[in-house]
Chain A
């Protein structure tokens, strides 16, 4: 799949039930080829909001499925998840998200 120039920004929001409360921002991962970094920050409300910036364009439906499945396993509420991605596969994305969730207090 060829990559057109320009980053793709994707946003998703799911209602959560597991309030994370206040916490110091959590960062896992590194922006490298086939990798991604994930930043978790507290945010007002009951939503868990995801913002993805990725150089691998055209995979929105896969991102949605992966993030939805992650949120069904970790129904976080009041969390903003910011992702910088450089072509990680769903396997790596799920792993980083799990590592980030595990680092929450």
Chain B
């Protein structure tokens, strides 16, 4: 005799959890002192728990409360989260509460993560990009419980996430619509929210944390630290790539090199007559270094993954540029910005730690499991794309000229630029025969070496020695010599076939600064539209308020 089919096990589970929670909270509002009891009531052993672990903001109060639970009562948890940022994010594994992990980026916790993996305390399901992880929340990694953070709640439980909305909408949608439990820590409870970012019907519990949630300024770069070499490389990027392809829609990976590009727009790029012809639309966090370009009228729009501390008032004052609500504050959205960077941008440019002869690029280092973050989504050709732009078509033509068959089918291609000095600090070469990623994969038992940007997605490599245009390469040999040709005095560079490299230069596959008409002696810091944090504040008319660590006045 067959057992009756039951179709609402998840709803029943949800009801049971909510029933248990009634013992510590009569409604949605939970006292801070009761948070432990609440989590104990709504989390079950074996649950998939999403702890907001974003790039910038952290649900730190909930993280601490989770780690304080009794592991004999709550265990076997499967953590799914974007970023491992706080010590508590790994404490849950160390104390035996959680055993499995799916994530995207580990930043400051990379070394500790590697140790816990090697001692068997953590079983990593997979390392993802941000957008990939969000996608899996809707397929096979749906959270049972989501522990999130928001700026404010009202008494019904509506949430305002404001400028730092980040990953929250993706997490909450997946959880709330699969009978999951959503618990939010908020900085304040208001009678009336500036706007509703998450509706109350998607939120089960709200707790006001004793201190505002943790948040870090990760996208601020002090112009005082930009070097002459970075100015030179930025000049080559602007003249040799942005102008050449007419790049209007783009994403910059964070770094001093890209900050140099942002700060050369109102000066060097202006002198080339490029205003209005490049850099109009951005998928980008609100980089303070972009302020002078915005003020000079270069920027039509910026959509952001998250916010940046100190930029709030400036963003409010520039609603034509940023995505802001009727209340005036920005709304960021990592999932949508990632999609924008993947499909609606024609160029990605970013730095890296290592590049090999196939132009594979990796930031993996031994002893650390850092993950990927969002870069692979930006730094990859978008094969699902169909709408055309001049930039995309030009790159596609260059890549396919002379090819036949399937490989020669006409299509566009996204410009993916890796920008790196040939030597890093302590004379570590950026160009290597074999990436550390291979050894790390063996050590950490990964199925594949963790490559950030695949070589066949990289279209240009830009170093202080010039630009290698891989779109024009027609064989692995040519590609290898093109890489060696811009690898300068590293062992990889010194081992070049001189004749082959000269040939590539004649064909324009490799372009030196002089070939681009860039005079290295003009590459001084005086070319930067802002040379200090103070200059950025002045450029913003006093609207930008840098966090304390960046001030020197």
Contacts and interface: CB of A to CB of B under 8 A. Distances in A.
A30 interface: no
A66 B494 CA distance: 11
Contact of A65 (B229, B422, B425, B489): B489
Interface of B: 228-229, 232, 421-423, 425-428, 464, 488-489, 494, 520-521, 523
Interface size class of A (residues with CB under 8 A): 10 to 19
A102 B521 contact: yes
Given A59-B427, A62-B489, A91 B421 contact: yes
List the 7 shortest-distance A-B pairs measured between CB atoms, nearest first. A91-B464, A89-B423, A90-B489, A91-B229, A62-B489, A65-B489, A90-B488
Contacts of A56: 427
12 contacts: A1-B426, A61-B494, A87-B426, A87-B427, A89-B423, A91-B422, A91-B423, A91-B464, A91-B488, A92-B229, A95-B229, A99-B521
Contacts of B229: 89, 91-92, 95
User: Which among A59, A66, A89 has the highest number of chain B CB atoms within 10 Å?
Assistant: A89
Contacts of A89: 229, 421-423, 427
A98 interface: yes
Interface in A47-97: 56, 59, 61-62, 65-66, 87, 89-92, 95
Contacts of B488: 90-91
A91 B423 CA distance: 8
Contact of A90 (B422, B426, B520, B523): B422
Contacts of B421: 89, 91
A11 B47 CA distance: 67
Contacts of A34: 425
Nearest to B426: A1
A98 B520 contact: yes
Contacts of B232: 95
A95 B427 contact: no
Contacts of B427: 1, 56, 59, 87, 89
Nearest to A91: B464
B453 to A, nearest CB: 22
B445 to A, nearest CB: 30
A92 B422 CA distance: 11
A99 B522 CA distance: 10
Nearest to A101: B521
Nearest to B229: A91
Contacts of A92: 228-229
A48 to B, nearest CB: 19
A98 B464 CA distance: 14
A87 B488 CA distance: 17
B429 to A, nearest CB: 10
Contacts of A1: 426-428
A69 B23 CA distance: 78
Contacts of A102: 521
A32 to B, nearest CB: 12
Contacts of A95: 228-229, 232, 520, 523
A66 B521 contact: no
Given A65-B494, A66-B489, A95-B228, A90 B423 contact: yes
